[in-house]
Chain A
Amino acid sequence: DAKTTQPPSMDCAEGRAANLPCNHSTISGNEYVYWYRQIHSQGPQYIIHGLKNNETNEMASLIITEDRKSSTLILPHATLRDTAVYYCIGYNSGGSNYKLTFGKGTLLTVNP
């Protein structure tokens, strides 16, 4: 799986959009970009994933650059409950792969 690089921490004001970047320059053509988050004292929670097209669901939007070397997770209206560590993971869900390789992620703090 591709190695990903994320800033260790970010701050965001409540109600504003939170844009979390991730670099994955070594991602291969069949690897998806997955985002999970981990709220304090809970297990990781799946947010969204994409291959090359932008994706949106009820939780967030994922913007992937055309060269697929980086992506941005967007929380359009951050709330205090969005304070968490966000993990960007390169993952090939095909074949026999099943391991998620987490890095240290980005601690997003949403401030009132």
Chain B
Amino acid sequence: GAGVSQSPRYKVAKRGQDVALRCDPISGHVSLFWYQQALGQGPEFLTYFQNEAQLDKSGLPSDRFFAERPEGSVSTLKIQRTQQEDSAVYLCASSVSQGGNGYTFGSGTRLTVV
């Protein structure tokens, strides 16, 4: 597609519920990133994939967070047993390479845990 597509656009989850957030990167983009953006803050790095390989997951805040990209294209960010502090916008970005000017971000998924 023309851009990075994320779904759902909004998600309300009850505390303790599991959620799955989807990212469709630009076709052919090797690199894929997930960022978390709390209200009033800049985005913060969560994890990085190069094709299907997860090369860096140092930003994942806890073991309740899990990301995958099994075929090197679509990626899913899963959050188990959601907590209120997980409420944030989750942004996905893709890039042809890892250069800083090549990132294209999606519009994000706004997760609200109630």
Q: CB within 8 Å of B: which residues of A?
A: 32, 34, 41-46, 49, 85, 87, 89, 91, 93, 96-105
Contact = CB atoms under 8 A, between A and B. Distances in A.
A2 to B, nearest CB: 13
Interface of B: 4, 31, 33, 40-45, 48, 56, 91, 93, 98-108
7 contacts: A43-B91, A43-B108, A46-B101, A46-B104, A98-B56, A102-B42, A105-B42
Contacts of A49: 100-101
A99 B47 CA distance: 9
B108 A102 contact: no
Contacts of B40: 104
A104 B103 contact: no
B93 A43 contact: yes
Contacts of B91: 43-44
Contacts of A100: 43, 45, 100, 103
Contacts, number: 58
Contacts of B42: 85, 87, 102-105
Query: Majority SS of interface residues in chain A?
Result: loop
Contacts of B43: 44, 100, 102
B101 A98 contact: no
Nearest to A105: B42
B41 A43 contact: no
Nearest to B59: A99
A41 B107 contact: yes
Contacts of A102: 42-44
Contact of A91 (B48, B100, B106, B108): B100
Given A46-B101, A87-B42, A93-B98, A98 B106 contact: no
A104 B41 contact: yes
Nearest to B3: A43
Contact of A34 (B41, B93, B101, B104): B101
Contacts of A44: 43, 91, 93, 103, 105
Nearest to A92: B100
